Structure 1
């Protein structure tokens, strides 16, 4: 670590698959990277991590977040962090809670504002409901939606919006807390459990000293837009987009409400303009991502914002968009250790590791060819080993198929230690085709 290296402190609470790629990529570009996470977290496994700050291992993410403000302040001071980057939605929400808490020290509050952007808009960025309201006020295309306090209100909203529709719980992100509701009886059956979970989560946040993300109704009903999921991830500073990359999702897990497992590059001016407009309005800094549905006629409807980086951002250089490099270049004295090659051959689509393997070990998108690229991080053997164990637990019957798929994904040209997978898969990966 040198004086010119930006010092980035990453926070992981729920240990999302793919979050380690963000850390690994920035370390490879020359940043000094520290990770605050629970023991065994994949986020702390990349070889370029220079410091690790352990959070409590028992009790799950909520227990790890309890008392986090003091631990975060101590870690940021010890590491002399220039910025804090959340690696999952719960981490993003918790950092914003800490920034708004009256007892948070001025130094940590200032660090979080530099890292995340204008605190005046944290509640909007963390609310499914308020975000869409804000976007619509900016003239951004959004689905019709309505808040629902109770079942009668939900029925009235459903009748006004029309079926099918999406039912979304507040204080959730991504596919968690989202359900596709096709009929009024389906809505009646699903609303009660969803509302109880939303209120229980709000009560739990209060119990642990966190404020509610917003005062909105616990449930939002949103018109279902037929089309393809698309996302745009951007690096930004003080409300200005520095660089961005858009992808269209070719496969989701689970279907409809899940996260993308295979993506392809996308050029869509409406998406790019909408993202830039929201970043400016919310005064964002760091990294944010936006989800859209692109309808058959090409119109893009904003459906969600993730106030954090996503695991596909490191793919940008393959397509000429250097999201992380653009952000790091804003730190004084930064020297890029590994700028992306200017003439790299771009694949048609990318299968995300391990997500597509978890979805289907026999997926045709795991076979190289026809412009497909399987994004296995062979330069991070400990990460591959970690996911190897995860794959074995999820698909114990498919060890031979998984080994064949990994072998076909290829190995790096440089020498690297062989990842320690479970024995059957490791033998298949090492064997010659």
Structure 2
């Protein structure tokens, strides 16, 4: 019997959409718990489909999540976005029942569900560090890993003081977002004020107003809205952070791990990013990079991490110094490219969960990859992507057509 794996998605993000095929080809039985109309659910390589409403989960309706894990009994559960990471971590920590902000009653956690989640996520004591840039930086420092100076930002004056002390430019970041939408590079005080406003108002003000309305409703509808919002970090602390800007080329290491042991990884540097400066990579170069691999292995070990993850770096090309930026406790858009890079991440995970002999990893043959739909969002009509490999899901018409529908329309 093939081991079962369950992918959980609360955000409509293209990053994990290619993972079901790679997992199925590796030998997993693939289940997906997500919105049936969402991007991840469009893959034709899913064998078990379970419907989920992200909106109801944020209101505290957890029964579909708990029931699916209990009945499907996957060997491992994989959160596919930031909200899913927080949800599964909070459920794994809910020893006396699950309840988040706004919750009226604790939802009992079946012991088997908690056992599956703890096995799937790894060391629970490191959950907070995985989701917080400042905490991850502190952990990296204990391992001798270089990271730019940084600080949490509870209010604007803290960011202004940091910029005075460290000089311009500075980088303002927002937890809980993905890609360039969470990062702003600020060259002066005016840009810092604009970035602070941009990264706080769109979510915090409506969220505060929404809570003023929803909390009384939760009190009235206790029998339905039970647990509150478990898709947000429960630890105290500001969602904004500021750091010194370090020049260089963005780089990433996509890793799969089991119980703190890095099994396989893909090192890549960005050739093209969109939007320029702080955006997500659209064309990457897969490389052999011992420093990135060793650094990532140390971080995975200290975190006791299990699952698919990604570690963000910046490499100063003048000095060749590698700076650690962030740990992402979820699959990255490169997770399915293992075979192209020299080692299949999904096959390595299968070997770990079944106690099989690990599959040897080949040295990466340097190659460039144009990512779909990322590079098509940058330029839908480019005649030449400037890459050796164009990563189109041509074998999956339903997913391919849905992703094409996201591209900007051209005249």
* Common topology (TM > 0.5): yes
Q: CA deviation at 1:390?
A: 2.3
Q: What's the counterpart of residue 246 of structure 1? A: 267
Q: CA deviation at 1:311?
A: 1.9
Q: CA deviation at 1:217?
A: 3.0
**What is the number of residues matched between the two proteins?**
382
Q: What's the counterpart of residue 24 of structure 1? A: 21
Residue 43 (str. 1) matches residue 40 (str. 2): yes
Contact conserved, 2:313 with 2:325, CA < 8 A, in 1?
A: yes
Stretch deviating more after TM superposition (63-72 or 201-210): 201-210
Q: What is the 5 A alignment of 1:53-132?
A: 53-56=50-53, 61-67=54-60, 69-101=62-94, 102-103=96-97, 104-132=109-137
Residue 315 (str. 1) matches residue 337 (str. 2): yes
Q: CA deviation at 1:159?
A: 0.6
**Could you list the per-position Cα deviations for residues 11-53 of structure 1 after superposition, in whole angstroms to 9, with x for gaps in the alignment?**
1111211411111111122211111111212212222211111
Work out the CA distance in 2 between the residues paired with 1:347 and 1:157: 39
Q: What's the counterpart of residue 405 of structure 2? A: 389
Q: What's the counterpart of residue 356 of structure 1? A: 375
Contact conserved, 2:287 with 2:366, CA < 8 A, in 1?
A: no
Contact conserved, 2:343 with 2:362, CA < 8 A, in 1?
A: no
Work out the CA distance in 1 between the residues paired with 2:41 and 2:143: 39
Q: TM-score, normalised by structure 1?
A: 0.81
Q: What is the 5 A alignment of 1:174-189?
A: 174-189=179-194
- Structure 1 residues without counterparts, runs of 5 or longer: 398-433
Q: What's the counterpart of residue 245 of structure 2? A: 224
Contact conserved, 1:347 with 1:373, CA < 8 A, in 2?
A: no
Cα RMSD of the aligned pairs, angstroms, is 2.7
Residue 292 (str. 1) matches residue 313 (str. 2): yes
Q: CA deviation at 1:334?
A: 7.2
Contact conserved, 1:13 with 1:65, CA < 8 A, in 2?
A: no
Contact conserved, 2:286 with 2:365, CA < 8 A, in 1?
A: no
Q: Which of 318, 321, 325 is the equivalent residue of 2:347? A: 325
Q: CA deviation at 1:148?
A: 2.5
**Could you list the per-position Cα deviations for residues 96-125 of structure 1 after superposition, in whole angstroms to 9, with x for gaps in the alignment?**
122123313321111111111111111111
Q: What's the counterpart of residue 138 of structure 1? A: 143
- Structure 2 residues without counterparts, runs of 5 or longer: 98-108, 216-227
Work out the CA distance in 1 between the residues paired with 2:15 and 2:159: 36
Secondary structure of the 1:122 match is helix
Name the structure, 1 or 2, with higher relative contact order (CA <8 Å, separation 6+): 2
Q: TM-score, normalised by structure 2?
A: 0.85
Q: CA deviation at 1:314?
A: 1.4
Contact conserved, 1:145 with 1:161, CA < 8 A, in 2?
A: no
Work out the CA distance in 2 between the residues paired with 1:214 and 1:128: 13
Q: What's the counterpart of residue 236 of structure 1? A: 257
Q: 1:223 to 1:342 in 2, by over 3 A?
A: closer
Work out the CA distance in 2 between the residues paired with 1:386 and 1:308: 22
Contact conserved, 1:240 with 1:276, CA < 8 A, in 2?
A: yes
Q: CA deviation at 1:216?
A: 2.5
Q: Which of 4, 9, 30 is the equivalent residue of 1:12? A: 9
Work out the CA distance in 1 between the residues paired with 2:144 and 2:357: 39
Secondary structure of the 2:398 match is helix
Q: CA deviation at 1:363?
A: 3.1
Work out the CA distance in 1 between the residues paired with 2:259 and 2:205: 35
Residue 257 (str. 1) matches residue 278 (str. 2): yes
**Could you list the per-position Cα deviations for residues 62-107 of structure 1 after superposition, in whole angstroms to 9, with x for gaps in the alignment?**
4444445321221122222111111122211221122123313321
Residue 167 (str. 1) matches residue 172 (str. 2): yes
Secondary structure of the 1:19 match is coil
Stretch deviating more after TM superposition (294-303 or 197-206): 197-206
Q: 1:377 to 1:194 in 2, by over 3 A?
A: closer
Q: What's the counterpart of residue 306 of structure 1? A: 328
